[in-house]
């Protein structure tokens, strides 16, 4: 009996000890858990507050940017349709912008460096709103549209827009970096707290298996999942959301939300960059499709052109260059730059290029082509302006007739390496007056190189004087001008740091060795007073055409044209004449007749007096030819061009005979 009572007393003591341990340890661990939970809650609340602050700051930054953008679109809409209602967004932006800016600065006031960035961003936003948009609107409303356009296209405004965008990006990026840094610090704190809580849970499980076991295991498992989720989220791996309504689940959801927002921001940036690259590629492809696919092959001339889009522009630009061999053997050269970017600029560029081409086929006079393009632009796009240069090169007379509309003057490199410009006056297309045409004709020496370019070549360095110096130095450098890809070589040497704006370059090099086909021209010189030589030259001219396989009827017509031109020269411009027969065209023969008289202008129609003998000869020439024009020479006299499309005899197998006649001396 005594032994049984002692066992009972020991058992009762163990029960009391366990009861004490069970009552004290859970309370202790409960207190500990409350403390840790409180810390976790504080950390969570702190992170939520910082997240809310960062979100609000980014939202206010977006609101400032949106106000500027809406105001800008409103002003543009007003310039298109000057109605007071169009300025509603602009007026709203001016009212809301100060409030948004004040709220933005208030949100970041606890961070001095970020506050300075916000202040700078606000300062630039005010300058854009008041110093650019408001000033532009006032000029426009005052009727000073040209000054308004000049102001918004000025380098200072472009630079201001770029700095404003860079400051906004810097502010947003810094705000996100601050959020990430705080997120990382919280993550480290939570890992430390998790380790403490895990140790306490293990100790509690050992001491109070029945009372705290389930709770401890559950907390431990959730903390392990939280830690694992934190690591996986940090590595960018997908994770399952921890369910429940406790602080651990809340913290896990905060982790997921922050990670999602960070990834969205990064993806948006990557998508924006990818979209920019795609748009840039499409714009470049479209721009090149609008440019000539190949440059003409003309005897004695080597062309090379290049177009390089600006690296800061994703849209198609309005720069172009063009070269076209006309039916009479002359070469049309154009280059220009439409103000602005995007599809409207591309449409205007294509229209200007085609108008100039179309007029050149009828009347290849640079002043007329410039005038036609100016009238077309004013009629269809009165609010736009275009700089352009139009030139017509005569490979027989070695002259260039040209007219400029506010475009940078081409450069002329002489055979000795010296470089000079070809100045001309004139306002851009869209701003010209009726008497504002400045047409000139200059002689182009043998071995010379002409360089035509748009202003992006010299303005990308933001120092036009330095850009012009580089360009002249590059054109004078023999190692550069000796290259076949002269335009690309000039571009790469001048724009070593890359181009911010579109650049179009066209190089024309006069190289006597550059021939399309051997023996593709014949040249005769004689005096109209020497009847024997003149008649022999006429017969030799006809024999050359016959030897080339031309049908007899066409040879007769060509000989008749030769006789009429000769008779006209004998009557009105006696003396030395030059006759050039050019076969370099694909299917045409061009007869050049150059005299040294007083020069004249031809109206190819019958005279009013049908019995008059004057005017019938040139009308006959015009009727028998495919094209006929007469221009005055710079050194005196007239230059007659007659275009023939001869038919050629066919051989026994049906193939057109095209034999090259034996070379003929220049002077019979």
Contact 457, 505 (CB under 8 A): yes
Whether residue 16 is contained in a domain is answered as no
316 and 449 both lie in a single domain = yes
The Cα 29–Cα 472 span in angstroms is 84
Largest separation between any pair of C-alpha atoms in the chain = 167
**In sequence order, what are the beta bridge partners of 399?**
394, 443
| Within a domain: 8 | no
Question: What was the pLDDT predicted at 666?
Answer: 37
The pLDDT value given to residue 8: 39
Q: What is the pLDDT of residue 58?
A: 85
Q: Specify the pLDDT at position 653.
A: 42
Q: Which of 17-31, 258-272, 320-334 has the highest mean pLDDT?
A: 320-334
Per-residue pLDDT, averaged over 151-155, amounts to 81
Token pair recorded at residue 88: 């509603």
Is the same domain home to 397 and 461?
A: yes
* 654 within domain boundaries: no
Closest of 555, 625, 551 to residue 593, by C-alpha: 625
Containing structural domain, residue 265: 24-280
Are 552 and 491 contained in the same domain?
Answer: no
Helices (H), 145-154: 145-152
Please, what is the average pLDDT of the chain? 80
Which tops the pLDDT comparison, 392 or 103? 392
Q: Give the orientation angle of helix 531-547 with respect to helix 552-572, to 10 degrees.
A: 150
Q: 534 and 504: one domain?
A: no
Choose one of 231, 253, 280: the last residue of a domain. 280
Question: Looking at the domain assignment, is residue 665 inside a domain?
Answer: no
Q: Flag whether 405 is in a domain.
A: yes
Assess whether 536 and 446 both reside in one domain.
no
Is the pLDDT reported for residue 662 higher than 60?
no
Cα–Cα distance, 459 to 318 (Å, whole number): 16
Query: Both 434 and 485 in a single domain?
Result: yes
Render pLDDT for 468-491 as a digit per residue (tens, 0 to 9): 999 999 999 999 999 999 999 999
281-295, 346-360, 375-389: least confidently modelled range: 281-295
Model confidence pLDDT, tens digit, residues 532-544: 998 999 999 988 8
Q: What is the pLDDT of residue 127?
A: 84
Residues 346 and 481 in one domain: yes
Residue 553 and residue 431 in one domain: no
* CATH number of the domain to which 313 belongs: 3.60.40.10
What integer is the mean pLDDT of 442-458?
A: 93
**How far apart, in whole angstroms, are the C-alpha atoms of residue 509 and residue 393?**
12
Q: How far apart are CA 41 and CA 33, in angstroms?
A: 12
Q: Is residue 579 exposed (0-12), middle (13-18) or buried (19+ Cβ within 10 Å)?
A: buried
What is residue 570's three-state secondary structure?
helix
Using an 8 Å Cβ cutoff, are 147 and 385 in contact? no
CB atoms closer than 10 angstroms to residue 181: 10
- Based on the fold, state whether residues 550 and 481 are members of the same structural domain: no
CA dihedral 532, 536, 541, 545 (to 10 degrees): 150
Partners of 390 in the β-ladder:
334, 403
Do 539 and 423 fall into the same domain?
A: no
Assigned domain for 481 exists: yes
The predicted-structure confidence for 224-282, as pLDDT tens digits, reads as follows 877 877 777 677 677 777 777 667 777 777 777 777 787 777 777 777 677 767 765 66
Number of structural domains (the chain) is 3
Looking up residue 617, the CATH number of its domain turns out to be: 3.30.565.10
What does 325-347 look like in DSSP terms, one character per residue? E-TTS-EEEEEEEESS-SHHHHH
Q: Which residue has the higher pLDDT, 313 or 13?
A: 313
CA–CA separation, 168 and 240 (whole Å): 35
**Does the pLDDT of residue 100 top 60, yes or no?**
yes
| Whether residue 195 sits in one domain with residue 326 | no
Burial of 194 (0-12, 13-18, 19+ CB in 10 A): buried
**Helices and strands, counts by H and E, the chain:** 17, 15
pLDDT band at 10 (very low <50, low <70, confident <90, very high): very low
In a domain, 81, yes or no: yes
Residues in the chain: 668
Q: Outline where 127-154 has alpha helix (H).
A: 135-141, 145-152
With a cut of 60, say whether residue 668 has pLDDT above it.
Answer: no
Residue 492 counted as domain residue: yes
d(CA 175, CA 94): 25
Query: Are 534 and 501 contained in the same domain?
Result: no
Q: Which of 457, 487, 510 is the last residue of a domain?
A: 510
Give the residue with greater pLDDT, 553 vs 36: 553
User: How would you label 3-21 residue by residue, b for 16+ Cβ within 10 Å and e otherwise?
Assistant: eeeeeeeeeeeeeeeeeee
Give the per-residue pLDDT at 279.
60
Contacts of 658 (CB under 8 A, 6+ apart): 548, 549, 648
- Which tokens sit at 607? 């005279």
C-alpha–C-alpha distance, residues 63 and 69, integer Å: 10
């Amino acid at each position: 009996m005594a032994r049984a009572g002692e066992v009972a007393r020991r058992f009762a003591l163990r029960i009391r000890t366990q009861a004490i341990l069970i009552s004290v340890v859970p309370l202790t661990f409960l207190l500990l858990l409350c403390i840790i939970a409180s810390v976790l809650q504080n950390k969570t609340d702190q992170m939520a507050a910082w997240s809310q602050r960062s979100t609000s700051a980014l939202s206010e930054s977006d609101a400032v940017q949106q106000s500027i953008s809406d105001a800008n679109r409103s002003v543009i809409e007003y310039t298109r349709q000057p109605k007071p209602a169009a300025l509603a967004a602009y007026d709203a932006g001016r009212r809301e912008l100060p409030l948004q800016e004040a709220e933005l600065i208030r949100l970041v006031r606890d961070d001095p460096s970020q506050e300075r960035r916000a202040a700078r961003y606000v300062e630039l936003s005010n300058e854009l709103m008041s110093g650019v948009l408001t000033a532009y609107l006032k000029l426009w409303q005052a009727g000073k549209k040209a000054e308004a356009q000049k102001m918004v296209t000025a380098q200072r405004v472009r630079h201001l827009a770029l700095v404003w965008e860079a400051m906004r990006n810097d502010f947003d990026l810094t705000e996100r970096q601050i959020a990430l840094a705080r997120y990382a610090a919280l993550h480290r704190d939570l890992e430390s707290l998790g380790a403490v809580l895990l140790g306490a849970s293990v100790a509690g499980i050992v001491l109070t298996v029945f009372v705290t076991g389930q709770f401890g295991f559950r907390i431990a498992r959730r903390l392990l999942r939280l830690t694992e989720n934190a690591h996986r989220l940090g590595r960018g791996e997908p994770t399952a959301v921890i369910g429940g309504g406790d602080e651990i689940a809340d913290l896990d959801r905060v982790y997921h939300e922050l990670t999602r927002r960070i990834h969205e921001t990064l993806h948006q940036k990557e998508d924006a960059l990818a979209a920019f690259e795609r748009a840039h590629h499409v714009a470049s492809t479209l721009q090149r499709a609008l440019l000539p696919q190949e440059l003409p092959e003309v005897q004695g001339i080597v062309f090379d052109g290049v177009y390089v889009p600006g690296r800061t522009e994703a849209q198609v630009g309005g720069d172009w260059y063009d070269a076209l061999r006309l039916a009479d053997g002359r070469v049309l050269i154009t280059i220009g730059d439409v103000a602005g970017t995007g599809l409207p600029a591309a449409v205007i560029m294509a229209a200007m290029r085609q108008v100039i081409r179309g007029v050149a086929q009828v009347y290849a006079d640079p002043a007329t082509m410039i005038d036609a393009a100016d009238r077309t632009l004013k009629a269809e796009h009165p609010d736009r302006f275009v700089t352009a240069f139009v030139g017509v090169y005569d490979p027989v007379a070695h002259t260039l007739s040209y007219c400029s509309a506010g475009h940078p003057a081409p450069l002329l490199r002489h055979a000795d390496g010296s470089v000079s410009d070809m100045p001309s006056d004139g306002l851009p297309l869209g701003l010209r007056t009726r008497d504002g045409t400045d047409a000139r004709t200059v002689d182009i020496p043998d071995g010379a190189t002409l360089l035509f370019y748009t202003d992006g070549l010299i303005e990308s360095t933001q120092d036009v004087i330095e850009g012009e110096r580089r360009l002249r130095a590059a054109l004078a450098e023999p190692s550069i001008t000796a290259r076949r890809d002269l335009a690309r070589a000039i571009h790469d040497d001048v724009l070593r740091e890359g181009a911010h704006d579109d650049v179009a370059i066209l190089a024309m090099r006069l190289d006597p060795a550059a021939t399309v086909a051997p023996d593709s021209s014949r040249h005769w010189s004689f005096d109209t007073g020497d009847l024997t030589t003149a008649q022999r030259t006429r017969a030799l001219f006809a024999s050359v055409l016959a030897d080339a396989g031309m049908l007899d009827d066409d040879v007769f017509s060509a000989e008749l044209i030769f006789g009429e031109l000769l008779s006209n020269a004998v009557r009105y411009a006696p003396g030395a004449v030059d006759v050039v027969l050019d076969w370099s065209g694909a299917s045409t023969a061009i007869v050049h007749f150059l005299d040294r008289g007083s020069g004249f202008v031809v109206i190819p129609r019958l005279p009013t007096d049908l019995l008059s003998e004057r005017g019938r000869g040139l009308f006959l020439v015009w009727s028998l030819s495919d094209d006929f024009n007469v221009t005055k020479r710079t050194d005196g006299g007239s230059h007659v061009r007659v275009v023939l499309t001869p038919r050629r005899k066919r051989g026994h197998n049906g193939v057109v005979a095209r034999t090259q006649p034996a070379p003929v001396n220049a002077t019979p």
